[in-house]
């Protein structure tokens, strides 16, 4: 019998020798920490401090998500970053899907040492997306985008419906985040599934174009769908992202100290 999804946040303290290193980690749209818990545990096992919050409107019901704004999602992850900054020498940002966009926002507004993304979303491919601000007045929700996982028997515990109002908020956040991307100076590692039924390569194209001045390493995953952190390539992601962080640290990552948030435009 499949156990119930664990939507609770994840927190760990730094351990081991060397510089105190933190990872702020974000789940995706309509999901929860459940889908990334094994990844967070892998970071903790490597000795890194981890903060993975439950984003506002998530882990309860889609109606609550429909009442939230994208600034609340960013604020939750930014607060988690500040917690790590207070106790760590270096902080990395990581995320899945929409959580990848939020990790990029943190990297654009805080001095992160590096960024790790899994199937990051910056573009909503649905042609109805530009009309979401109007559609939300007459259409409250659409079918779920959850559980795009090749591995059998896996359940990310996401909502059964997608609130249109929240999708509109996400689209606004994507536009504002794309504007900020050139401010990122840290190296970026991306894990991208060859087959992804939720996020197309259009998001990767935007990422490459807007991050032309920083190294972007894209690793293709041939045996996973969108929620790759729960799929066949999960261990490859976990091991590879830990190695990426250690390589960046060995190369001399700048310390996360004295950061100031850059103001974003209200969308």
Domain boundaries, the chain: 10-251
User: What whole-number distance in Å separates Cα of residue 259 and Cα of residue 183?
Assistant: 14
Among 3.30.750.24, 3.30.360.10, 1.10.3720.10, 3.40.50.1820, what is the CATH number of 10-251? Answer: 3.40.50.1820
Place of tokens 């929240």: 166
Burial of 93 (0-12, 13-18, 19+ CB in 10 A): buried
Dihedral sign (CA 255, 115, 181, 211): positive
What value does the CA radius of gyration of the chain take, rounded to a whole number of Å?
Answer: 17
Measured distance CA(47)–CA(115) in Å, rounded: 18
**What is the block-wise mean pLDDT of the chain (267 residues), using blocks of 10 residues?**
80 88 97 97 97 97 96 98 96 98 98 98 73 55 88 94 92 96 97 96 95 93 98 98 96 61 36
Q: Is the CB of residue 63 less than 8 Å from the CB of residue 259?
A: no
CA trace torsion 171, 172, 173, 174 (10° rounding): 50
192 contact partners, CB below 8 Å, separation of at least 6: 119, 201, 204, 218, 219, 220, 221
The reported pLDDT for the residue numbered 258 is 45
| CA dist., res. 205 & res. 233, Å (int) | 22
**pTM strictly above 0.85:** yes
Is residue 32 within 8 A of residue 7, CB to CB? The reply is yes
Cα separation, 37 vs 127, in Å, equals 32
Q: Which residues are annotated as a binding site for substrate?
A: 29, 98
- Calpha distance 40→96 (Å, rounded): 12
Q: How far apart are CA 263 and CA 267, in angstroms?
A: 12
**Inter-axis angle of helices 70-87 and 164-180, to 10 degrees?**
50
Q: Which residues are catalytic?
A: 97, 196, 226
On whether the CB atoms of residues 194 and 148 are closer than 8 A, the answer is: no
* Feature table: binding site: 29, 98
């Amino acid at each position: 019998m499949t156990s119930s999804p664990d939507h609770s946040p994840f927190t760990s303290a730094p351990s081991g020798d060397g510089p105190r290193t933190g990872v702020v980690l974000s789940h995706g749209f309509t999901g929860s920490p459940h889908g990334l818990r094994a990844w967070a545990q892998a970071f903790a096992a490597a000795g890194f401090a981890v903060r993975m919050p439950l984003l506002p409107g998530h882990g309860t019901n889609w109606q609550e998500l429909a009442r939230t704004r994208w600034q609340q999602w960013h604020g939750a992850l930014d607060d988690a970053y500040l917690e790590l900054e207070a106790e760590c020498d270096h902080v990395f940002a990581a995320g899945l899907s929409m959580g990848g966009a939020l990790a990029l926002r943190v990297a654009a507004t805080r001095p992160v040492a590096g960024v790790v993304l899994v199937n990051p979303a910056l573009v909503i491919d649905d042609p109805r997306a530009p009309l979401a601000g109007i559609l939300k007045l007459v259409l409250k929700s659409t079918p779920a985008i959850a559980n795009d996982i090749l591995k059998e028997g896996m359940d990310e515990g996401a909502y059964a419906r997608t609130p249109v109002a929240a999708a509109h908020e996400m689209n606004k956040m994507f536009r504002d985040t794309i504007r900020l991307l050139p401010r990122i100076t840290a190296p970026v590692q991306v894990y991208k599934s060859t087959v992804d039924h939720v996020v197309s390569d259009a998001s990767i194209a935007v990422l490459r174009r807007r991050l032309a001045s920083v190294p972007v390493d894209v690793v293709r995953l041939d045996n996973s769908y969108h929620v790759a952190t729960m799929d066949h390539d999960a261990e490859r992601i976990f091991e590879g992202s830990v190695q990426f962080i250690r390589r960046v640290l060995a190369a001399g990552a700048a310390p996360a100290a004295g950061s100031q948030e850059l103001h974003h435009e209200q969308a």
